[in-house]
Amino acid sequence: MTDLVLRSFSWSDIPAITALYRHYVENSAITFDLEAPDEAAMAEKIARLKQLGHPLIVSERHNKLLGYAYASFYRPRAAYRFTCEDSIYLDPGATGKGLGKLMLGELLLQSRAAGFRQMLAVITAGTDNSLRLHENFGFQQVGYFRDVGFKFDRWHDVVHLQKTL
């Protein structure tokens, strides 16, 4: 992954992040959104993350965004304030090359520095690369929910994994 840069988010990343997320909304069940948000909605979501001081990183090579990752509250209630959920989205052409490992490693460091104590991963069952990635970082399965998401005319299971930071 030569010439790869992991860096903090910049507002100029919004179009590329929106396009990348749109790909996953329209072509996969790794997100249960049924309609892709536009740039304004993504900017609003990211503004909230930044306002809260939550980790948000991007990866790029030769000024092309290859992925983004963030951690934010698992649930909005105050008692959950030390527990985050991670999200990582990679350009389909950049998967399987170690980029997810680099991004999750950095996200774990930044999440710990931001004061989070636990990280949860909520992963659509059957997404073996994402499950393996998290397990390689010491995440342990703590829950399995059957038929909780309906997308592309079928039901999807969800796996919950957890790691102490």
CATH number for position 88: 3.40.630.30
Confidence of residue 1 (pLDDT cuts 50, 70, 90): low
DSSP β-ladder status, 56-61 and 64-73: antiparallel
Mean pLDDT score of the chain: 96
The CA distances from residue 22 to 19, 50, 70, 89, 90, in Å, are: 5, 21, 17, 11, 12
Number of domains in the chain: 1
pTM: predicted TM-score of the whole model, two decimal places = 0.94
Confidence of residue 56 (pLDDT cuts 50, 70, 90): very high
Q: What is the pLDDT of residue 17?
A: 98
Q: Which domain holds residue 155?
A: 4-164
Note the pLDDT tens digit of each residue in 109-131: 999 999 999 999 999 999 999 99
